[in-house]
Structure 1
């Protein structure tokens, strides 16, 4: 397997992140995306807000040193959440599973939460392989699909050793 790692987001990564988030198949799988994925100014505002926000830790996922996606830890309503977006060229090689493991290892707080579109079977499998368990399901509008989809909420509870 390739070497997967996480590193901080750098300005030189922004073009790759923007292009990754514009890819039509990836947008459909992610579902909960920007309403205007081709609007670079909107993307630039979004990325600045999130990079500077307290409680948000953004990372680039690398595979053998090259760009393979993004990962983040953030807080919503006092719940700590994880998210991944793996570039299409890195799908089906274990990159997402390893990136999730690395992300979870960085975050001591439990429980951790993750959200995923029910139709994204690969992402569901990554979460379940990583020890996450489905705790709820609701129907919400997903801009990446242009329609309502089932959103699953997963949680990773503390282990017996407290992590």
Structure 2
């Protein structure tokens, strides 16, 4: 039986997150990524900040006893947002939806916001299945695409 669960992020998860971050297809879909996904020094510095910031709620996604990705909530643009990253080998299996749904059960802060590039239909569907609604649009520079892209702003009331 396929099982999704969340647990606190531990340092041993980081090498898996780093490998997932280097996936160019995943970077393209996420759009708003680091300038150089293969830069291990920048990755470590970024995650050190995340791990040391108690205001960021972060969980590792476990699927069938393997690290499948992570989900987090943080403040951005003056609002509380959620974000997730699921390794590509787990796409299309309901992992993101189950993980985000479990995360939202634990996070009682509302409203919550999320952002997704307009052509990332799968991520938009995950967010909608979890109760988010498209409330606006924005544009931003995508490192992964090396151009400005349009995104939806979604809200969970």
TM-score (norm. length: structure 2):
0.96
1:84-126 Cα shifts (integer Å, max 9, x gaps)? 1010010001001001101111111111111111111100011
- Cα deviation for residue 78 of structure 1 reads 4.1
Paired residues of 1:51 and 1:57 also in contact (CA < 8 A):
no
Give the unaligned 5+ runs of structure 2.
none
- Name the stretch that deviates more: 71-80 or 135-144: 71-80
The equivalent of 1:20 in structure 2 is 20
- Name the stretch that deviates more: 73-82 or 89-98: 73-82
Distance 1:132 1:62 in 2: 23
Over 6 Å off, 4+ runs: none
* Partner secondary structure for residue 68 of structure 1: strand
* Partner secondary structure for residue 6 of structure 2: strand
- Cα deviation for residue 138 of structure 1 reads 1.5
Paired residues of 1:6 and 1:61 also in contact (CA < 8 A):
yes
The equivalent of 1:160 in structure 2 is none
Distance 1:138 1:81 in 2: 15
* Partner secondary structure for residue 35 of structure 2: coil
Q: How does 1:1-163 map to 2 (within 5 A)?
A: 2-157=2-157
Distance 1:27 1:120 in 2: 11
Distance 2:15 2:43 in 1: 10
* Partner secondary structure for residue 5 of structure 2: strand
* Partner secondary structure for residue 55 of structure 1: coil
Distance 2:61 2:146 in 1: 27
RMSD value over aligned CA atoms?
Answer: 1.1
User: How many residues of Structure 1 are paired with residues of Structure 2 in the alignment?
Assistant: 157
Distance 1:56 1:139 in 2: 24
* Partner secondary structure for residue 72 of structure 1: strand
Distance 1:68 1:54 in 2: 23
- Cα deviation for residue 133 of structure 1 reads 0.4
Give the unaligned 5+ runs of structure 1.
158-163
